[in-house]
Amino acid sequence: MTISNEPDDIFGQTDGQPDGQQPLDPSTAQRVADDQYEGDDVDSEEGEDQDDVDLQRRFLLFHATPAWVVSALVHALILLILGLITLANPVQLISVLTATSGADDGPEIEEISFEDPEMMETEDTEETEEEVEITEPVETVEEIAFETPIMDVTAVPLEVADFASDMAPTAMTLQSMSNNSQPMGSRSEAMKKKLLREYGGTEASEAAVTEALKWLTRHQIKYGPQMGAWTFQHDAVCGTNCGCGNGCEPNRSKQLNAATSMALLPFMGAGQTHLKGEYRQVVHAGLRFLVRNGKPGRRNGIPYVDYRGPGGNMYDHGLAAITLCEAYAMTGDSELAAPAQAALNFIALAQYADGGWRYGPEGSGGDTSVVGWQVMALKSGHMGHLAIPQNVFTGAALFLDKVSSDSGSIYGYSGPSATVRPATTAVGLLCRMYGGWDKSHPGIQKGVSHLAKTGVLKNDLYYDYYAVQVLRHHGGSEWDKFNTELRDWLVETQAQQPGAKGSWFFPNNGHVANAGRLCSTSFACMILEVYYRHMPLYAEKVSEAEFQL
């Protein structure tokens, strides 16, 4: 997501789109370590064609030649051809990252500040302007018809054909996983009903989720080159008269990857995948677009895919990585293994020396907001048994140490804070929970008290999204009070008028205002899915594997 220079705005508006994007072919099961790039294959095929012509000419001569001469010539030819064949060396995936505590703790700031991102580029990235095409208005909820798999090899050039061997989870990684782990098992229909009853969901909250998914479906791009995507500028989908207000927001951010990811996550949170569920075709089309809209590359011998959008920042990439990793963890679909792993590889390569992340792969100091999305992606990748270097986790923990105060209960933006900053504190606490801090840890106990005292912020849905997860995992009276207020408020404020029905939009809602109705709807829907999106971390029996920072 791009960042504006408004201090409380996560989603800014920028123009520009990386040019020369080569969509990834992430077919993994069929790739092996000695695959070559296409250029090598083309040369080989040309040589083989010439050999075929020569062999045909020789065949005509052999008819007039004694048998022993023919035999000798054929054997000589075979030996000659075998002598010309060479094999490519396999590429090894190596861990090259180190994480050290930064010397500069960052400036002390009074409010969360999101600066304009510099145009961070990898070696093969150029920026051009992206145009969001106006498509035919969509008035009804309908499934997108598709006939091709997520990866259509004929439509995707083999830019990084040897990803598979580089991205296979290591034996050590797999050994650290629980053999009985069932990633995202809480999203099954039976478990959803059970967790809704136990953790405070209601029929009304589930009905609101259902209507939100319908609204998101209506606003998916169903025609043209961006088919399957979503955009914050949803006038490109429904025209200007669908009833959503504000002319269907033609001036919103142009980040297709961020918008598509934010739209897909609520579907998957409700248990919908591209293989199963009422909305499987909607999810399939969204994933298919997302996979093809990454920028593949290689750094230090490690293949990656960069999902940053216009402005080139890590918000977009973190959201895309979460989406791909969740889709893979939920289904085990081998077609998603390579793009999910490649997205994690880019996160690892983009980590700063202080263990954090910010706008791109070059920089000296991370910020807690961007770090939160990357840690959530690492968590999702871990549940999918994907390969992540241990020093990435170590670095993230060092960054959280750097920006924390009050026994780890308060988290600042780029350095420690003397006072509670609600949004970054909620982000930091959730990262600590996923990083292995026990419920009894002083930082968790005091942090939960801070969030309970802050309560629901109706002008900051971004904070609410993180705080509701922290308090739900913790449980207790703090959770009961927070959940009741936030749940009932969201059910009450969901739009009911035609066109906008099922969505939310809060014009003055802090961090997410500039991304408009789609962003607000995504956050609100995921908040109402909090009961079952993930298993409770501190329950006696948890099906998700340990994840140590």
> Is the distance from CB of 231 to CB of 133 less than 8 angstroms?
no
Question: Which tokens is 488 given?
Answer: 């009932």
Q: Distance between alpha carbon 288 and the CA centroid of its chain, in Å?
A: 13
Question: Which tokens is 202 given?
Answer: 């209601």
Q: Residue 444 falls within a domain, yes or no?
A: no
* 295 φ/ψ angles, rounded to the nearest 5 degrees: -115, 105
Q: Residue 60 falls within a domain, yes or no?
A: yes
Q: Residue 77 falls within a domain, yes or no?
A: yes
CA atoms of 433 and 438, how far apart (whole Å): 7
Q: Residue 33 falls within a domain, yes or no?
A: no
Reference 96, options 398, 389, 394, 318; nearest CA is: 389
Reference 535, options 114, 30, 183, 224; nearest CA is: 183
Sign of the torsion formed by the C-alpha atoms of 331, 327, 388 and 303:
positive
DSSP-derived secondary structure for 354-400: TS---SSSS-S---HHHHHHHHHHHHHHHHTT----HHHHHHHHHHH
Q: Would you state the pLDDT for residue 228?
A: 97
Cα distances from 488 to residues 196, 208, 464, 493, in angstroms, run 15, 11, 13, 9
Q: Distance between alpha carbon 396 and the CA centroid of its chain, in Å?
A: 18
pLDDT digits (tens, 9 = 90+) for 454-475: 999 999 999 999 999 999 999 9
For 155, what's the count of Cα atoms within 13 Å in the CB-facing half-sphere? 12
pLDDT tens for the chain, residues 1 to 549 = 443 333 344 544 433 333 333 333 444 333 323 333 333 343 444 444 444 434 434 433 334 445 555 566 656 666 565 555 443 343 333 233 333 333 333 433 333 332 333 333 333 333 333 444 434 443 333 444 444 566 543 333 334 333 444 444 443 333 333 333 456 777 878 888 899 999 999 999 999 999 999 999 999 999 899 999 999 887 777 765 666 766 566 667 778 999 999 999 999 999 999 999 999 999 999 999 999 999 999 998 999 999 998 777 899 999 999 999 999 999 999 999 999 999 999 999 999 999 999 988 878 899 999 999 999 999 999 999 999 999 999 999 999 999 999 999 999 999 999 999 999 999 999 999 999 999 999 999 999 999 999 999 999 999 999 999 999 999 999 999 999 999 999 999 999 998 899 999 888 777 776 778 999 999 999 999 999 998 888 865 443 445 566
Tell me what percent of the residues of the chain surpass a pLDDT of 70.
62
Question: Which tokens is 310 given?
Answer: 């216009």
Q: Report how many domains make up the chain.
A: 1
**Residue 62 neighbours by CB under 8 Å, 6+ apart:** 70, 73
Q: Residue 282 falls within a domain, yes or no?
A: no
Q: Would you state the pLDDT for residue 173?
A: 37
- Tokens 């095409």 found at: 133
Range of the domain at 59: 38-84
CA atoms of 312 and 480, how far apart (whole Å): 40
Return the axis-axis angle of helices 38-62 and 67-84, rounded to nearest 10°. Answer: 170
Q: Would you state the pLDDT for residue 185?
A: 74
pTM of the full structure: 0.72
Q: Would you state the pLDDT for residue 474?
A: 96
CA dihedral 458, 459, 465, 471 (to 10 degrees): -50
CA atoms of 396 and 401, how far apart (whole Å): 9
The amino acid at residue 8 is D
For 121, what's the count of Cα atoms within 13 Å in the CB-facing half-sphere? 11
CA atoms of 496 and 490, how far apart (whole Å): 12
- Work out whether strand 302-306 and strand 295-299 pair parallel, antiparallel, or are unpaired: antiparallel
CA atoms of 389 and 383, how far apart (whole Å): 15
Sign of the torsion formed by the C-alpha atoms of 289, 295, 297 and 302:
negative
Return the axis-axis angle of helices 461-474 and 476-493, rounded to nearest 10°. Answer: 140
Q: Would you state the pLDDT for residue 132?
A: 43
The residues pairing with 299 across neighbouring beta strands, listed in sequence order, are 302
Q: Residue 338 falls within a domain, yes or no?
A: no
Q: Residue 492 falls within a domain, yes or no?
A: no
> Is the distance from CB of 361 to CB of 350 less than 8 angstroms?
yes
**Residue 488 neighbours by CB under 8 Å, 6+ apart:** none
Q: Would you state the pLDDT for residue 514?
A: 73
Q: Would you state the pLDDT for residue 43?
A: 42
Reference 547, options 270, 350, 329; nearest CA is: 329
Q: Residue 53 falls within a domain, yes or no?
A: yes
Q: Would you state the pLDDT for residue 143?
A: 42
> Is the distance from CB of 290 to CB of 307 less than 8 angstroms?
yes
Q: Would you state the pLDDT for residue 241?
A: 62
